A and B are shown apart, each in its own frame.
Chain A
Amino acid sequence: MTQVTMTVNGKAVSGEVEGRTLLSTFLREHLGLTGTHVGCDTAQCGACTVHVDGKAVKSCNMLALEADGASVDTIEGQANPDGSLNAIQAAFQEHHGLQCGFCTPGMVMAAAALLKENPKPTEAEIRHHLSGNLCRCTGYHNIVKAIMAASGQDVAAVAAE
C-alpha cells in the first residue's frame, strides 16, 4: 500500500491505496464520494468524469496514484457554497436534462469543463464535446438545452423537440 494525497473539492485528503486502485475507486470507496458513478468501467460512458487539475478525465481510467498531489473536483463540489444548485445543475433540473440520473454527474462535469473553455458553445460544439458521455434515457436533446441555458443562450435555438 502507498500513501496518496490530493485535494478533493478544496479539501486535503489522503489514504492508503494499491498500485491498481483507480481514482474512481478512491473517490467512491475510500472517500465515500459516490456521486461519481461507474457505468461501463471501460472509459466509454463518461459517468465517472471528474476534473483533475481543471481538466475533465474519466476517473475509472486513471490510477489514484497518478492523481497524487493533484486537485480533483467531483460532482459533490459543484453546488454553490450555500448548498443551492449551480447554474449548470439548475439548468439540468429546469430543462429536464435527466431521467434516471445515472449519467448526470458525468454530464455536469463534462459541461462544466466545456463552459470553462468555451463559455458560449454552439449546439454542434456541445454535442461534439459530449461524444464521450453516454445517456440512455434522454436522447441528449434536453441535456444540450440545459447546457445552452447554463451558458446564457436561447434554448429555443436547439434543433430537435
Chain B
Amino acid sequence: MYNFEFVKPKTLEEAVAALSAEEAQVLGGGQTLIPTLKQRLAAPAKLVSLSGIEALQGVRADGGVLTVGAGTTHATVAAEAGAYPALAALAGNIADPAVRNRGTLGGSIANNDPAADYPAAVLASGATVVTIAREIAADDFFQGMFTTALNDGEIITAVKFPIPEAASYQKFEQPASRFALVGVFVAKYADGVRVAVTGASEDGVFRWSEAEAALAANFAPEALEGLAVPAEGMIADLHGSKAYRAHLVGVMTKRAVAAAG
C-alpha cells in the first residue's frame, strides 16, 4: 500500500473541505477500499474517513420510510432495522461478522460492486439516495459495474427506504467470498412489485421488469413459470457461466417470492 495522508473529520462540512484536495478519496468502513489499496489498485494522496461523523449514523423508521445513515454499519442495520425485516436480514448476511462491524451502507452502494448485496435492496425498494448535494432515485443512482451517479467528492449521507408490504432477499453465495453469485431482492408495494438482481449482470445491479409485471398480477412463484432472463450480458467467470447465472436469477426470484409470502 502506498502511503497517504489520513484525516478523520468530525463534521460533514470538514469532510467536504478535506475532499476538495487533489487526489482525495472517501473512506467508509474500508472493507473493500483497504484491500484495494493493498493491491495498489488505488493510490489516493489523502483518505478522508467518515467514521467520526455522528450525523451519518443511525437507523430511523418514520411514516412508512426507513432512513439509514450512510455511515451505519451492516451489524447495526441487522440489529436495528426491524421495521424492514428483509433489509435487516440482508445486512446480517453480508460477508462475515467482523466485516459487518466495519462495512457501511454508504460505502457499499458508492462502490457498487456488481456482486454486492445492498444495491439490490436499494434498487428493489425504489429507495432514495441522499447526498450532501441532492436526492437521487435508486433507478438513476446505479449506472453500471462500479459506476454511480455520484460526482467527485459527493458524500452519501443517508438512504431512505420505503417499507414494502412484503419483501425478501435470497442470495446464492459464492462460498469463498460470500458475495452473491446471484442475489435477488423482491419487494411488494401497494402500487406494484420491484425485483432487483445483483451478482449476475455485467452492467451491475438491474431490475427484472418482466418478473415485476408477472408478480404484480399474481404475487406467487408460479407467476414466474416460463420467464427467463437472457444469458447474453450475464457475468461469466470460474464460479459460473452466463447460462448458469441466468438460470439462477429465475430460481432465486422464485425463492424470494416464496419467502416473502
Contact = CB atoms under 8 A, between A and B. Distances in A.
Interface string B29-59: 0110011011000000001010100000000
B101 interface: yes
B5 interface: yes
Given A2-B6, A41-B38, A61-B35, A113 B97 contact: yes
B3 to A, nearest CB: 5
Most central of B4, B8, B96 by chain A CB within 10 Å: B96
A52 B31 CA distance: 15
Contacts of A110: 97-98
A30 interface: no
Nearest to B4: A19
A65 B5 CA distance: 11
Given A46-B96, A57-B98, A110-B98, A63 B38 contact: no
A66 B49 contact: yes
A42 B4 contact: no
A20 interface: yes
Interface residues of A, number: 29
A49 B30 CA distance: 15
B76 to A, nearest CB: 10
How extensive is the interface on chain B, given as a class? 20 to 34
Nearest to B39: A42
Interface in B1-22: 1-6, 8
A56 interface: yes
Contacts of A57: 98, 101-102
Contacts of A113: 97
Given A61-B30, A66-B30, A46 B4 contact: no
A132 interface: yes
A77 to B, nearest CB: 17
B6 A65 contact: yes
Contacts of B31: 43, 61
A132 B175 CA distance: 11
A132 B30 contact: no
B34 A63 contact: yes
A20 B37 contact: yes
A66 B51 contact: yes
B30 A20 contact: no
B101 A55 contact: yes
Contacts of A63: 6, 27, 30, 34, 47, 49
Given A42-B35, A63-B6, 4 more contacts: A19-B6, A20-B1, A58-B98, A132-B97
21 contacts: A2-B6, A19-B5, A20-B1, A43-B31, A43-B35, A44-B176, A44-B177, A49-B98, A55-B75, A57-B102, A58-B99, A61-B31, A61-B34, A63-B27, A63-B34, A65-B6, A65-B8, A68-B8, A110-B97, A132-B96, A133-B96
